[in-house]
Structures are given as C-alpha cells and as structure tokens.
Amino acid sequence: MTAAPDLAAAASVVEQASTVVDAAAARIAASGSIDDHQVLAYELAHAAAAVATARGLLDYGAKGDLEGRITVAFVADAVKNLNAKIFGREAEWGVEPGALDGAREFIGTYAAPEFLAAIDQAGPRHLDGDFELVQDTFRRFAEEKLKPIAEHIHRTNGDIPEEIIEGLAEMGAFGLSIPAEYGGYGEGGEGEYIGMVVATEELSRGSLGAGGSLITRPEILARALLAGGTEEQKHEWLPKLATAEVMNAVAVTEPDFGSDVAGVKVTATPAEGGWLVNGVKTWCTFGARADVLLLLARTDPDRSKGHRGLSMFIAPKPRGDGHGFQVVQEAVDGAPGGGKMEGRPIDTIGYRGMHSYEIALEDWFVPAGNLIGLDGGMGKGFYYQMAGFENGRLQTAARALGVMQAAYEAAKDYADNRVVFGHPIADYQLTQAKLGRMAVIIQAARQFSYVVARLMADGKGAAEASMVKAYVCNAAEWVTREAMQIHGGMGYAEEYDVSRYFVDARVLSIFEGADETLCLKVIARKLVADAAA
C-alpha cells in the first residue's frame, strides 16, 4: 500500500525549490556576468524549468487520486534532482548546506520505487470536450495515415507523400493558428494555442518527421506575418498557408551562425522591382518541397548594426527534388532571370522525411512586395523571426510530447508481452518504476504545455515557452532511451519503432534554439535580470 498524495506538502516543497532557484539567480546577478558562471547558469535554467513544470502540475493534482500521485511523484523527482545539483556546491548556488532538507521526507516517500511502480498510466488530460474532439481527430489520422508509413520513410530517408499533406490540409491542420479573417481556423484565445499543442502531440505520436513537424513551418511564417506583415501581405499569404496551396521552409541559420542570429551574413541588396539575395543558409528543413522560404537577410551593409540590420522576406522558389536540387530563376514576374539556388541535402540519423538542406543563393530575386512589413519592416527581421519562433518552442515541446507518448506506449506493450525468467518483464519492479517515471514525466510536461499555451494566449509566457521547450525536449531523450532499453536487444533493431523514437528525440534539444543557447541566453538571462531588479 503506497502513501496517499499530500498536495499541500507538494506545494511547500515546490516553494522550497523556488527559493534555491532564486538564490542561484541572485548569486549570478551579484557577480555581474552569466558568461563567468555558464555551468551554473545552465543548471539553473534547467532547474527553473523543472520547478516551473512542477508548479504547473499542482492544480492537476487536485483532480483525482491518480492525478495526485502523478503530481507528488513529479515534484519529488524534480526536487531530488535539484538537491543532487547543489549538494557540495551550496556556496556556488548561494544557499546554505541542507537548503532542501525540509523536502527529505517528501522525497523519500514519493520518489520511492514502490510509489513509482504503482503508477501504471500517464493519466487523463482533462481537456474540454472541444479539445477531446481535436485529439480524437488527429489521433485517428496519425493511426491510419502516419504510423503505417513512418518507419518506411525513416529507413529509406523517403519523402512525405503528397496525400499526407493534402489530408492534413483538408483537416485544417495548417490553419490552426491563422485567424479566420485570413482563411484559417484560429479564433484567438487559449483554445487556439491548446488546440495547436494537442494536434501537434497527436501527429508527432504518429511520426515526428512526417507528421508533427509538417505544421510547424507554416506556424512560424504565419506568426511572423501577423507580427509585422501589411494587411495586403496577410491577405495574400495566410489563406495560401492555411490550405497548403503554399508550403514554406525557414531559412535563418547559416554555416557560421546558428543561434547567433545577429551575425547573419546572407545579404539582400536593392534591385529594380525587388531584392537580390546572395549567400548560404543551412539546416533549411523542408527546403526542397517548399514553395517559399521565410528568409532572414542583411539589408543594411553596416554589420556593426547586428540584428538591427536584418529584414525578413518571403522568397518564392520552385519545388525541388527531395534529395538535392539546383534551379535557375526565370525572367518572369519582374525577375531579371539568371538567379541560382542550389540545395544540398544534409543526411541525419533521425527526423527523416522533412529533409534538411544547405541552400546556396546567387542573385536570387525576391519581389519588393515580399519584404515583410515593406519599408516599415526594414531592420525588423530579427523581431519577426522571434515572434515566429517563440510559439515554435511551445510547438516543439508538443512534438516532444508525442514522441514520448509513442515511446511509452511501445515500452509498456513490449513489457507486458516479453517473458524473461518465467515472467513478463512488466512484473519486475525495475521495469514498473521506469514505466511509472515515464508516465509521470509525460503528464507533467503535457500539463505544463497547457499552462504555457494559456499564458501565450494572454500575451505572456515568453520565458515559460523557453522553459517548457528546454525541459520537455531534454526529458524526451530519457524517456525514449529507457523505452529502448526495456526492449533490450530488440530496441536496437530497426524492426521496432522504438529505435526511431530514440534517434528522433535527439534532435529536439538542438533545433528551435539549441539547448545551451536557450538556457544561457534566454532562460538564465531572464532569471538573472529579474533577480537584479
């Protein structure tokens, strides 16, 4: 018989952990430099993300016994990990030895193997009826259309079939965040954000590369347009994105500049009727199939201006071959002709189907009307990009949720059926505790995603979006690794989907803001600034 969940104690422990996080932020603020304490700042960011996730789970815990057990188990796990970080390094963290001793009994009770082993499911989502319908609709599509082809696409590095794109377009998947006035299905408010999280999770549960990620790129372009586009540009492009008449890729990263966007070298120089773009972009996912690139380029030759010299363009292009393409621009629609674009595929260990490219542009013409915001958008490209990527971080967390859920279900099914030493491995405490911790982490991450969605709908939550991305994507690596481990030798065989979940999960902490940069430059910076204030 396991202990009953004590939610009041959980709330108290969360506050104790918050005090430690605040102390570390104040410690760095007093030193005056995050860069002098990068290791501490990185650990602080992840600790803060875990504590924020725990706090976001407290209301969920009051909705039932299973929900309560999931909540106290997660709080205990998060605070146990924080205690391990500070042990022996209390001075560095700015706390006294024994700062979390008040949580010792709580951790001992709710992080106990028998308590975790008794949690045999991830629990209900507690979604409203409308969101249950969204979940059912996209789960059915994922089961019927994505799962049957996901492994083939992964093993052959194949293209996403056009019928998948068409099917998602018919369901309105590409217009979930586009306002109805521009041909989409977004109604504003929290429903729009939560609906996107739910749909993305279910599609990613079917396939990260061929499902959940398909709706990310239109989301980023749509948000950039809504942040800075003219009304004419919104009416031109948003309806086409909503119906998949136009599919886009994002061309921001460069070979020498990843998260350091301010250093972008690709240039856009004025020409008659538009701009000529020159330079190289990399990690341009879906770049071949895309009809347009959301392209960040330097319009001010004065490089000392950094990100203030960047502007954002919608650059039309022909569709190219999924395994590399080279096109020469025709002299139509005001283009002088002769511009070149070459896409070199970048092979990856996972996340296949979308395909990523290094794209070289030589005098590639972009019409003047495709500068987002026109003259008013000059030098504001970085901010439009951030408007798109901010929501992209929440969506990436939702993608991680889908991968984790798929891995958990696969591991649970295998454990129930695999017999070792005369018993299904699901009968052994170690397996049960692993599955229990998976279930706890998944539901905590899911509920925090809903919390962040509500904040973003209210015009807030920028820091929390970074936190949920940092926490969930890191957690996905552990969940998929343990799911693979439960499969034993067969987990290393490609005939089981769990090997794909493992390599797919690895990309999640890299794209949409590499984990280190996200933690140091966004999360820790915000925490330290708040502490200094």
Q: What's the farthest any 2 CA atoms get from each other in the chain?
A: 78
Which two three-digit tokens encode residue 30?
Answer: 């007093």
Please tell me the distance from the alpha carbon of residue 70 to that of residue 62, in angstroms, as a whole number.
Answer: 11
Question: Helix 65-86 crosses helix 7-31 at what angle (to 10 degrees)?
Answer: 30
The enclosing H or E element of 360 equals strand 356-367
Tokens standing for residue 379: 């030098």
The SS3 of residue 211 is coil
Do the beta carbons of residue 342 and residue 199 sit within 8 Å?
no
User: Which two three-digit tokens encode residue 153?
Assistant: 């696409």
β-pairing, 356-367 with 310-316?
unpaired
Which tokens hold the place of 508? 């999640």
| Amino acid at site 332 | V
Residue 512 annotated among the catalytic residues of the structure: yes
Tokens representing residue 350 in the block:
């996972």
Measuring CA to CA, how many Å separate 188 from each of 62, 176, 193, 234?
A: 28, 10, 8, 16
Separation CA 410–CA 433 (nearest Å): 16
Element of type H or E holding 249: strand 248-251
Number of H helices, E strands in the chain: 18, 10
As a whole number of angstroms, the distance between CA 283 and CA 239 comes to 26
Interstrand relation of 292-298 and 248-251 (parallel, antiparallel or unpaired):
parallel
Identified catalytic residue from 105, 192, 512, 516? 512
Handedness of CA 379, 384, 385, 387 (dihedral sign): positive
CA distances from 121 to 1, 124, 434, 436 (A): 17, 9, 12, 7
What is the 3 state secondary structure string of 454-470? HHHHCCCCHHHHHHHHH
Residues annotated as catalytic are 512
